[in-house]
Amino acid sequence: MLQKIMQQTFCINLFETDDHPFHVTNWKLIKNILSDRSFIKRNPVLIVADPFLFIQNDCLFLFYENQISSNSGTIEMIKTNDLIHWTEPITVLKHRTHLSFPFIFKDAGNIFMIPETYQEKNVQLCKANQDLTEFCFEKELLNGDEYVDSSIILHDHIYYLFTSVIRENDDYELQLYFSKELNGEFEKHPKSPIAKGHSVGRCGGAIFEYENKIYRPAQICKHYYGESLSMYRIKMLTTNDYQEEIEIGRFLPKGHHFNMTKFNNKLIVATDTVGFTFNFWEFCDQMVRIIKKMI
């Protein structure tokens, strides 16, 4: 009952470690980005979430979702060259609908982003300018469904696109597509959907490779969104077969996202954590929306 009147918020945490990236107890906090906790602030920043790390020209970039009040989210960016001094955030992508999950990657010398655009029922590929301060629409990869948290991994010269679809009762269905070219047509994998349910069917970050193994973070949303995170290891990834097994269960409590990279000889881990707060004006706005739906 409390969660129904409290506003769910997310904050971003950055850690460094010399150990294995899954050994949470050895992470050292180096930066966090907090959402607002004010009771009376107008248009509070309720969500800073879905952090993605990217290295370019000896700088570490952090891209993330920023959502003010209940308005649509934008994609923000900050960067550093020493893990101590960070630039002020700038908006690199804004849309008429909600944006989140700014999965960023490099391919054939170009830098691309696949932001979540589920309200438009498609998966969009966006291309960066030279200094990564602006991303423009390049191509529609998929369309026709409410796709969330999409990412691509290039494996054995094949592009594999992982994306979840929201089904009835906010249940999740993880789908898999593949293509020989990034700008080609993506074909549905014969094993797709490869996972279903609130505890496994939605990715909690991009598919990634570490020490010659491929991993898939998965959100656990059995009781509420952002409840926890588990880690799966992908054992088989071909155009005909897909197999995975759980590596760590409930590996990141009260978090729903994991991303990592290596920078300045350190492993850098980016996560977000869920919390609950109460803002008077946001509560009033929610009540107005509920009443309008009932009329």
Which alpha helices (H) appear in the chain, and where do they start and end?
2-5, 280-294
Q: Which two tokens stand for residue 82?
A: 């020493």
Distance, first Cα to last Cα, the chain: 24
User: In 3D, which of 237, 228, 242, 175 has the Cα closest to residue 198?
Assistant: 228
| Most trustworthy range by pLDDT among 20-24, 94-98, 212-216 | 212-216
**What gap in Å lies between CA 288 and CA 273, rounded to an integer?**
28
Give pLDDT tens digits for 262-272.
999 999 999 99
pLDDT beyond 70 at 10: yes
**What gap in Å lies between CA 49 and CA 153, rounded to an integer?**
22
CATH homologous superfamily, domain 2-294:
Glycosyl hydrolase domain; family 43 (2.115.10.20)
- H or E segment and range at residue 274: strand 266-277
**What gap in Å lies between CA 92 and CA 206, rounded to an integer?**
20
- Dihedral, CA atoms, 51, 113, 210, 219, nearest 10 degrees? 50
Q: Which two tokens stand for residue 275?
A: 């919390």
pLDDT, residue 167, reads 87
Give pLDDT tens digits for 122-142.
999 999 999 999 999 999 999
| DSSP codes joined into one string, 217-275 | EEEE-SSSTT-EEEEEEEEEESSS-EEEEEEESS-STTEEEEEEEEETTEEEEEEEEEE
The residue extents of the domains of the chain are: 2-294
